[in-house]
Structure 1
């Protein structure tokens, strides 16, 4: 089940409608930008369906184009979501999961991130996000962390590449705060956290990160993220491969106790970072 980064239909329809109205009036994007408190580049992204327009934008453009409310009536359909369209389904499945098993290769799983670490991650994205988009994304990510303490508990295992702990995203203070959070999470009765050492000479996770979710109906679904989209894997053969691979990854990683000890040594400076 591939998920690409194509804009949602509602945003594409709104973009085409607003572009049609603008061109019908013989107006360029630059001329429209001079009439509204929004940049020419933002107008272009909205017209391509790449950026959800905020109600203030819709009101301003509707008035500037003398659209008579044609654009305003679409506000409920183009309201900004907390997550990208391709991620919304995964977030919903994760919130309901009976079990979650994740292998991370280049940054910490969103469920494990502090607010400051998450903000640093979103600030690192390119193309850059607007400040408001960053804050909305951070708060949405923190909301997903309710799963850690949900009742009934979700059974969780995380395998983190050692490099995800050595990379000081956001700087020294944010990194130390994140390590302390990992230690706290690792003590939860429903969570097991393991570190995959860089010294491994054989490694079952070379194909990249993966997540396995057990649904309320006791079906296991695989989930794999890429640069511009994601995949759900539901075919039993595919899920079986990922499950076997994840089991091997866990067996190759440090156990939970050794992993906590490693994080502690990073905090105290006894291990190099």
Structure 2
């Protein structure tokens, strides 16, 4: 028996046909790329996108942004075909609005507009840092089990959030990751190696700092769990928590200050970004 919630469109994009536009463009991209004799990594390098993003766009689960289509058209010798669909894509983007669950849309919108984003993670790689393979491994082992369709939707949602790194001016972003995250090979050794490599890639951005909290530290200012801190454009800093799927947005100034204070202490105790890069590289060599 199919649950009523499964029969309903998960997002405005599905309900109003926007996802159909993205799928149509994806169906054009793959044969054009193959005709050009390019692999996904090769094509991605030419247009400034990672292979995970190319794969997601070809499957119609990631928005093919207009600037991407402008770059891709000459690379794939599409003779203006990809440029011609830009008006339809822009209209679909407006109709889609957001692809996140209703309960998450408020925080997701703040994340897109934030001028600062700070994350403390205890058990898992934060969504903005995940590769497609890592995200799929996370959702594939979710309990209760998810359908393949739901897994694909959630992976697409997660990848779509990563467009925040493409904004200009970019937000200031920092992470404190517990070392155990680097040691858990979700998806297998190859997927884990790619995930660690992505941490190095994102951490190399001028506006991003990634730090690891070593497991060996004898004191810790925050044993209460993971959290995010955001500074929405034009607003004061807020905190966001999620425990067992139950989200909580904290806006009381004193409560936010206490969480921010703990985060500051953790950043002081954690490895520097440079030492973090060295540690990640060391762990990659052992895989």
TM-score (norm 1): 0.71
Contact 1:82 1:137 in 2 (8 A): no
Among 170, 174, 177, which residue is 2:194 paired with?
177
Structure 1 match to 2:208: 191
**CA distance in 2 between partners of 1:205 and 1:134 (Å):** 32
Note the residue ranges of structure 2 that are not aligned, 5 or more in a row: 16-95
Matched, 1:53 2:70: no
**CA distance in 2 between partners of 1:234 and 1:153 (Å):** 23
Offset at residue 54 of structure 1 (A): 4.5
The number of residue pairs the alignment matches comes to: 202
Q: From the two aligned structures, give the one with the greater helix fraction.
A: 2
**CA distance in 1 between partners of 2:184 and 2:130 (Å):** 13
**Alignment root-mean-square deviation, CA:** 1.8
Matched, 1:225 2:180: no
Matched, 1:94 2:111: yes
**CA distance in 2 between partners of 1:234 and 1:181 (Å):** 32
Structure 2 match to 1:129: 146
Offset at residue 229 of structure 1 (A): 0.9
TM-score (norm 2): 0.67
1:90 alignment partner, SS class: helix
Matched, 1:115 2:132: yes
Contact 1:194 1:255 in 2 (8 A): yes
Offset at residue 86 of structure 1 (A): 1.6
Contact 1:86 1:229 in 2 (8 A): no
Structure 2 match to 1:238: 255
**CA distance in 2 between partners of 1:231 and 1:194 (Å):** 25
Structure 1 match to 2:45: none
1:83 alignment partner, SS class: coil
Higher relative contact order (CA 8 A, sep 6+): 1
Once the two structures are superposed, residues 122-154 of structure 1 have per-residue CA deviations (whole angstroms, 9 ceiling, x without a partner) of: 111111111111111111111110111210111
- Equivalences for residues 1-273 of structure 1 within 5 A: 40=1, 42=2, 45-46=3-4, 50-51=5-6, 53-54=8-9, 82-269=99-286
Note the residue ranges of structure 1 that are not aligned, 5 or more in a row: 1-39, 59-78
